[in-house]
Every structure is written in structure tokens, then in C-alpha cells.
Copies of this chain bind each other. A is one copy, B any other.
Amino acid sequence: MSTFQLDALNAMSEVDFVAAIGDVFEKSPWIVESVAQQRPFKRLADLYTALAAVVQTAPMERVLDLIRAHPDLAGKAARTGTLTPDSTAEQISAGLHRLSELEYDAFHRMNDAYKARFNFPFIVCVRRHTKGSILRSFEKRLSHDTGAERGTAIEEILRIAALRLDSRVIAPDKLPLNGRLSTHVLDTYSGRPAEGVAITLLELTSDGVNRIVTTATTNADGRTTTPLIGDRPIPFGQYELQFEIGAYFSKLGVEQAEPAFLDIVPIRFGISDPEGHYHVPLLTSPWSYTTYRGS
């Protein structure tokens, strides 16, 4: 998908403007069309606010049309390759493109149950989720009443639109959509930052097939040069940081037993706030360590 300068969007004809970003709302270009006259927008946040106002003040019928314009999660459209490009990328981000038959069936049953109850499809901003958290969300939302679910559907649609906008439009400002996960390794044996510690961040899945999210090595300040996650929401879920502490102290020349008491130090934690700042440091000697949710 192409990206656009906010200035260029402001200068386009109405038709071109809708052609450029009309699809940030799934198959519903009328929303972008509705704000074309309000241009120019100084900041991306202004454009987003105008779009959100259109959705929030639309008559019920149009809202339901918008909701119903969304595909099933991990549904037939995904299998047959008829999703919009945005939806495809989003469903991939949560791993919905490589479900086992069992998982596919679970999604299928949930989708059907949800639609039978509410008469519209289940919508969730999957970039903030993992497979597991989507299924937990399905279950929880199935027990809500229709009004509440309509509200939730709109919230999720606005989150989806915001993330699409933010990735598509180059502007002086960014929408506040990103979480941050960072770490810091302090060597309490030497009293200084631990440099050169290899770190792996895993996403833990319920089926035990853990996924490597990223790897990094600490710098002279005991930190990673960029946050482990910093440019996107951190999907709800369970994670594990693994620190190669044994190798670090070996390189330092600290005498250790064979095997060392501490080799790989795992720190397992849950993310409940995808836009939150999570700082998860490690204070460690060869024989002891401390971790905490920092800031």
C-alpha cells in the first residue's frame, strides 16, 4: 500500500483523496468522503478526530453497514484469498494465516455463534492481539448485550482505522498507538551495566510453540539500542525474555561451575495494555537476580 504526505492529501481532489485513503475503513469509503471538505488538516490527529466523529454520529443503519462490511476473522475470505490487503496483513500479524485445523474450527464456531447472537460479525483490532487473546475475547464478548457489543465493535473499528492511517500517512505527528517494551541489564557483581548480553524475546503460545519476536544485545549502558518493541501495539499475551547471563559472566572471566548456576535467565510476563510502557530490567550476579515492572 502506498504512503502519502499529509500535505499531499490536503491538496488532492476529493476523488483522489478518497481513492488514497478511503479504505482505512473496511469497504466504507463514504467515511473518508465525509471529511474531504474539512481539509486541510494540520495534524494527523485532526484527520483522525474528524473521521471518528463521522462514525460516532452516523445513523444506526450506516453503523451496522460499516460493521457488516468486515470479514470474518480467519474465515472463508482469508482461506480463499479474497480479503482486502489491509485485512490480510492484519490477520497475518496475529498468526491467523497459519491455524491448525482445530484452531480453524474454533474460530469458525466462534464466528458463527457471535453472528447468530448479534447479527453482525465479530470485529477486533487484531494488531493488538495474539491468537489466544482473540479466542478469550470472543468468549467474553459473547455474553455481552447487543448495545454494548455494537459500542465495542465501533471502538475496535476506530482502532483499526487509526493503525491503518498511521502506517499510511506521513505527518508531523504520530497517533498514540504504540506500546513500548524495553529492558536493562545491570551487573550487580561488578556494579555496572552489563554489556554484550544476548537477549531473546519470545511470545508464548498456549500450544507451547513459542515464537521468537526479536533478539538483541545490550550496549555499554546495559540497554538495547532501540526498544524491543516500540513502533506498534504490544499484542495482549504472555511473553518471555531470555537473557544469556552465563555466557556474559564467562566472557567477563568470572569462574563458574559446570554447568553454571545461572545460564539462560527467563523472565515471563503478561501484557494487558498494548499501548503501555513496559520496562522489564534484570539486576543479576552469577548467583542471584531481581526483576520488576519498571518505568
Contacts and interface: CB of A to CB of B under 8 A. Distances in A.
A172 to B, nearest CB: 25
Contacts of A163: none
A285 B192 contact: no
A151 interface: no
B295 A288 contact: no
Contacts of A294: 186
B266 A270 contact: no
A294 to B, nearest CB: 6
Contact of A188 (B191, B192, B268, B285): B285
Contact of A258 (B188, B240, B272, B292): B272
Interface in A253-268: 257-266, 268
A100 interface: no
Which bracket fits the contact residues of A? 35 or more
A273 B258 CA distance: 9
A38 B236 CA distance: 64
Contact of A295 (B186, B258, B273): B186
Given A186-B294, A289-B290, A261 B266 contact: no
B236 A285 contact: no
B285 A257 contact: no
Nearest to A245: B268
A286 interface: yes
Nearest to A258: B272
Residue among A192, A260, A264, A285 facing the most chain B CB atoms (10 A cut-off): A285
Contacts of A238: 259, 263
A221 interface: yes
A268 B259 contact: no
Contacts of A257: 270, 272-273
A256 B186 CA distance: 18
A286 B236 contact: no
A192 to B, nearest CB: 7
Contacts of A259: 236-238, 270-272
